[in-house]
Amino acid sequence: MGLRNTTPTPPRWVRTLLRWWADPNTSEEVEGDLLELYNYWVAAVGERSANWKYTLNAIKLLRPLAKDKRAHYPRTYLYSPTMIRNYFKIAFRNLLKHKGYSFINVAGLAMGMAVAMLIGLWVWDEVSYNKQFGNYDRIVQVMQHQTFDGQVNTQMANPYLMGEEIRNKYGNDFKYIVMSSWTNGHILAYGDKKLTKTGNYFEPSITEMLSLQMLKGSRAGLNDVNSILLSESAAKAYFGSEDPMGKVMKIDNKNDVKVTGVYKDLPYNSDFKDLTFLLPWSLYLSSQSWIKEMTNPWRSNFTQTYAMLAEHADIDQVSAKIKDVKLHKVRPEERAFKPVVFLHPMRKWHLFSEFKDGVNIGGRIEFVWLFGIIGGFVLLLACINFMNLSTARSEKRAKEVGVRKAVGSVRGQLINQFLSESLLVTLIALGVAILLVQLALPMFNEVADKKMVILWQEPLFWLSAIGFTVLTGIIAGSYPAFYLSSFRPVQVLKGTFRVGRFASVPRKVLVTVQFTVSVALMIGTIVVFQQIDFAKKRPAGYAVDKLLFVPISTPDLANKYEVVRNDLLKTGAIAEVSESSSPITSVWAINNGYSWKGKDPGIQGNFAAVSATHEFGKTIGWELKEGRDFSREFPTDSTAMILNETAVKFMGLKKPVGEIVKIDDKVFHVIGVVKDMVMQSPYQPVFRTSFVLDYKDVSIINIKINATTSTSDALAKIETVFRKHNPAAPFEYQFIDEEYAKKFTDEVRIGKLATFFAILAIFISCLGLFGLASFVAEQRTKEIGIRKVLGASVSNLWGLLSKEFVILVVVACVIAGPITWYGMNNWIQKFDYHTEISWWVFVFTAILAVGIALLTVSFQAIKAAMINPVKSLKSE
Amino acid sequence: MKRTFLGEFEEIVLLTVAILGEEAYGVTVTQELEQKTGRSVGFSTVHTTLQRLEEKGFLASQMGGATAERGGRRKRFFTVTAAGRKALVEVKQVREELWGALPPQTLQLMGG
């Protein structure tokens, strides 16, 4: 305790508080009043109470956030509703006064946003693939790597005993293990109604694994061997409003099955979307009698294995644990294939489905990135436009800034005004964009094979859309907001104000960026189409025209082949008919165990194997290089073999005709060599292939229509024949030329999308250029007038106005060239059979880009140059 | 039609300022109010009310009269403006009209 003062004083800290935080306009009298009152209180109620009252009153007077201490005058309120209403009014008037610019601005931005939104939806759809399944995190597919001649192949197909073996040995690590066949079309019949529906055979616990939502029946519906579960849509297709439960249907005209349940259709963006019905695995085993008769069941891989991990089981650990499960079961001589079993998690099924040398190297994720980046670029282009135009236009409003400041606006108000104006435009653009997306979605869904909708209920969608809009608005509005608002009103109003020499530099840079992106996209598109064209021009090795095949779907058809063939030929519309194990546009079987004279013992020798009937070659129109085709004249042809050129090269045979080739212990003699045929990917080298005669191991009928008969006539006749001989199945066929075209689907799709984006990019860029050019022309009206008076010609002026833009585009081409060359060269290297990027692509694109830019600018330039100088000079 | 609303406390403060005449500033108004109404009135409340009345144009003010007891700080003297006087008169009229409209028997019951 120190010495006490004789007169009490109020607490010092309260006074400090007052000085800092109370209203500075009244601080003097408040402090005085309080002091006077304090003395009065000390006298009336004592020092303690006086201190207390003083503090309480002082604290009540603090207004920490209300007012700025520095201001001597009351400050202008930045967010007064009247002013905000005024900003919007002015913004609308500005928009309406310059309809052309407003249209370009809003349309360009809206288009960019719409495209970005569509791509965003697509990416979202891709990324959320399979995610609707409740057990998404724990579902896996059991797959295997095998090594053939030093090359590691990765496959989904497993021996049919795989599930059983894993269950017995490692059952603890899994909750469910489900064996299945493949999701294929089957003929499903109820009464007279016969339709081909896609479905698959599964072990019963698939229903639990996929958490099927049962509308009727229970998830135990697959326990009985003769049962079937239908999807909601399939049930509707067969039974309409009738109750499907307990009805008996016929599958592939062989087995009767009873409907034991109906499940809700599986989500469209999932790998199980095509499952319109489920059949029990036990039915598959009992209906395919050959399975039980297999002498070496661990050799054939023909089924799939799905599984769901037990809780807390780690996928990598379990994967490592089961890796040798097959190796231990195969025969010693098959160990050379080094089967490594592993688990592929559901979250990687869709986007990371490709393997190379036993390592997951991605897959569709590349497209997700590619389109994501392109979408980003298109959006960037649109934003650049928006910024360029709005900053260019804003310079015209310097006078408005001057007047506003003279009348009393403070800088903050002007900043608010310009920002809210640009936000208004971006928000309008967002509205238009959402409308555009809504309109374009059905078409886009068709192209992309998706069922996407706008994610109205997804907060992320709104967050990113609005977040992006606001960001664009603020960035585009920041130049006028912060730069123009700093003008000195006197200078601006006197007219001595000049925009700096370098004000247009950022604009020029942005235009260059725009055209760089556009040119790069154009070059990319051309290269993609060149590559497709290159692969399309590759000789197929067979005649794809008027060739079709019909699957042998029922035993009836298999037994009656000769009758069917004769009836078909009798119609006169058919040139040739034959059977084969697979359509010529694909390879279904690759077999091992080939041996021949001079075979290097180090290689295993696997070949693509096709079995066919005598007339196969004639039907598909292959070209013989050496020897002869199969012939009914030679009974010995039952052991004949025809090889393709690659096979002969691979085997190192000098004179292939007459050589002996053994498959396991069966002996074949080579009778001919055919030219290589494109059966698999047109971008890869042709695989070594052998053709042998076999009337049993066939699954399709190939039909070649007469060159002179029209396809529709012939189809009608073919259908009649099949209706007669195969009444149990619907008549189904596929054209080889369509199948062949499917080989290019992916690349054609990329090409189409790239074209779309390239055109869009060019369009948006030109839109911006158009706006800028007209702005520049307007700015230089007087200059042009004077030049004209002094004798400049229209072409002189046209050159003057166009030059600076053309230079920018040329610079863009120079930048885009090397970048695109590098990127596209990487892309085409992916294909073994690829085109070379030639120099003319770059020259052509550059000329095209400059041409388009020139055309865009010229319109404005010539318009400006044609104006009568009297008009442009007399104003003011 | 647009008439600035005068709250009950504002009315009393305005009246007090009128009563005090030349001597009306924060401290005197506070003390006068406490004595006349008998209720404890915070200085802060009075101060803000005076500010508000000035903003509304019912009061005018000027600085002056520094004393040692105030640490040499000036006082802000308030005077009622014409608008203030008008507002007071209006309030009084309304009150009187209302009282006048009261039925005599009710007036008796209330002890008036």
pLDDT at B4: 59
Kindly determine whether residue A31 and residue B44, on different chains, have CB atoms separated by under 8 Å. no
Amino acid making up residue B42: G
Substitution target in B47, B51, B74 with the highest count of A β-carbons within 10 Å is B47
Residue B109, min C-alpha distance to chain A (Å): 40
Alpha carbon distance A704, A681 (integer Å): 23
As a three-state string, the secondary structure of A394-446 is: HHHHHHHHHHHHHHCCCHHHHHHHHHHHHHHHHHHHHHHHHHHHHHHHHHHHH
Residue A36, min C-alpha distance to chain B (Å): 5
CB A120 within 8 A of CB A444: no
Give A192-214 pLDDT, tens digit per residue. 888 889 999 999 999 999 999 99
Tell me if chain A has a CB within 8 Å of the CB of B62.
Answer: no
pLDDT-flagged residues of chain B (< 50): 1-2
Nearest by CB to residue B70, choosing from A26, A35, A61, is A35
Q: Which residues of B touch A57 (CB under 8 A)?
A: 42-44
Alpha carbon distance A626, A643 (integer Å): 10
Q: How many other β-carbons are positioned within 10 Å of the β-carbon of residue A219?
A: 20
Kindly determine whether residue B69 and residue A61, on different chains, have CB atoms separated by under 8 Å. no
Alpha carbon distance A37, A26 (integer Å): 16
pTM of the model: 0.70
Amino acid making up residue A659: E
Domains contained in chain B, number? 1
Is B2 inside any structural domain? no
Alpha carbon distance A84, A420 (integer Å): 9
Give the torsion through C-alpha atoms of A391, A396, A400, A406, to 10 deg: 90
Closest to A298 in 3D by CA, of A333, A263, A268: A333
**CB neighbour list of residue A2: distance below 8 Å, 6 or more residues apart:** none
Tell me if chain A has a CB within 8 Å of the CB of B36.
Answer: no
Alpha carbon distance A521, A383 (integer Å): 18
CATH code assigned at B68? 1.10.10.10
Alpha carbon distance A44, A76 (integer Å): 44
Kindly determine whether residue B51 and residue A34, on different chains, have CB atoms separated by under 8 Å. no
Q: How many other β-carbons are positioned within 10 Å of the β-carbon of residue A596?
A: 18
DSSP-derived letter for residue A192 is T
Kindly determine whether residue A61 and residue B66, on different chains, have CB atoms separated by under 8 Å. no
Residue B79, min C-alpha distance to chain A (Å): 15
Chain B residue with minimum CA distance to A60: B44
Q: Tell me the CA end-to-end span of chain A in Å, nearest whole number.
A: 83
Tell me if chain A has a CB within 8 Å of the CB of B74.
Answer: yes
Exposure of A860 by Cβ count < 10 A (0-12 exposed, 13-18 middle, 19+ buried)? buried
Alpha carbon distance A94, A81 (integer Å): 20
Q: Which residues of B touch A29 (CB under 8 A)?
A: 25-26, 63, 73-76
What SS3 state is found at A679?
coil
Kindly determine whether residue B27 and residue A57, on different chains, have CB atoms separated by under 8 Å. no
**Host H or E run for residue A121:** helix A99-127
Closest to A425 in 3D by CA, of A375, A387, A463: A387
Substitution target in A28, A42, A62 with the highest count of B β-carbons within 10 Å is A28
Write down the domain spans for chain A.
1-75, 81-128+366-499, 139-349, 505-537+745-874, 547-739
pLDDT at B2: 42
Residue A80, min C-alpha distance to chain B (Å): 18
Q: Which residues of A touch B66 (CB under 8 A)?
A: 32
Domain that holds residue B48: 8-109
Residue B40, min C-alpha distance to chain A (Å): 11
Alpha carbon distance A469, A482 (integer Å): 19
Exposure of B13 by Cβ count < 10 A (0-12 exposed, 13-18 middle, 19+ buried)? buried
**CB neighbour list of residue A77: distance below 8 Å, 6 or more residues apart:** none
State residue A9 phi and psi, 5-degree precision.
-125, 150
**Chains A, B: CB pairs < 8 Å:** 59
Q: Which residues of A touch B43 (CB under 8 A)?
A: 33-34, 37, 57
CB B61 within 8 A of CB B54: yes
Structure tokens at A626: 């050496």
Nearest by CB to residue A29, choosing from B48, B69, B73, is B73
pLDDT at A73: 54
Residue A117, min C-alpha distance to chain B (Å): 52
Q: Which residues of B touch A56 (CB under 8 A)?
A: 42, 44
Substitution target in A14, A15, A33, A67 with the highest count of B β-carbons within 10 Å is A33
Supply the Cα-derived Rg of chain B in whole angstroms: 17
What SS3 state is found at A704?
strand
Kindly determine whether residue B47 and residue A30, on different chains, have CB atoms separated by under 8 Å. yes
Nearest by CB to residue B42, choosing from A31, A33, A60, is A60
Chain B residue with minimum CA distance to A22: B44
pLDDT at A78: 67
What SS3 state is found at A705?
strand
Q: How many helices (H) and strands (E) does chain A have?
A: 29, 26
Is B3 inside any structural domain? no
Q: Which residues of B touch A34 (CB under 8 A)?
A: 43
Alpha carbon distance A412, A409 (integer Å): 8
Tell me the residues of A at the B interface, defined by beta carbons under 8 Å apart. 26, 28-37, 39-40, 56-58, 60-61
Q: What ipTM is given for this predicted complex?
A: 0.84
State residue B97 phi and psi, 5-degree precision.
-60, -45
Q: What is the DSSP string of A449-495?
A: T------TT-HHHHHHHHHHHHHHHHHHHHIIIIIGGGS-HHHHHHT
Kindly determine whether residue A36 and residue B69, on different chains, have CB atoms separated by under 8 Å. yes
Q: Which residues of B touch A37 (CB under 8 A)?
A: 26-27, 30, 43
Buried b (16+ CB within 10 A) or exposed e, A790-804: eebeeeebbebbbee
Residue B46, min C-alpha distance to chain A (Å): 10
Q: What is the DSSP string of A553-590?
A: -SHHHHHTHHHHHHHHHHTSSEEEEEEESS-TT----E
Tell me if chain A has a CB within 8 Å of the CB of B93.
Answer: no
Closest to A216 in 3D by CA, of A189, A199, A236: A236
Substitution target in A34, A39, A63 with the highest count of B β-carbons within 10 Å is A34
Residue B68, min C-alpha distance to chain A (Å): 10
Kindly determine whether residue B51 and residue A26, on different chains, have CB atoms separated by under 8 Å. yes
Residue B1, min C-alpha distance to chain A (Å): 22
Alpha carbon distance A557, A574 (integer Å): 18
State residue A834 phi and psi, 5-degree precision.
-135, 160
Tell me if chain A has a CB within 8 Å of the CB of B37.
Answer: no
Alpha carbon distance A604, A691 (integer Å): 19
pLDDT at A497: 59
Kindly determine whether residue A35 and residue B69, on different chains, have CB atoms separated by under 8 Å. yes
Distances from the Cα of A651 to the Cα of A234, A608, A629, A712, A741, angstroms:
51, 14, 20, 44, 31
pLDDT-flagged residues of chain A (< 70): 1-6, 63-78, 495-503, 875-876
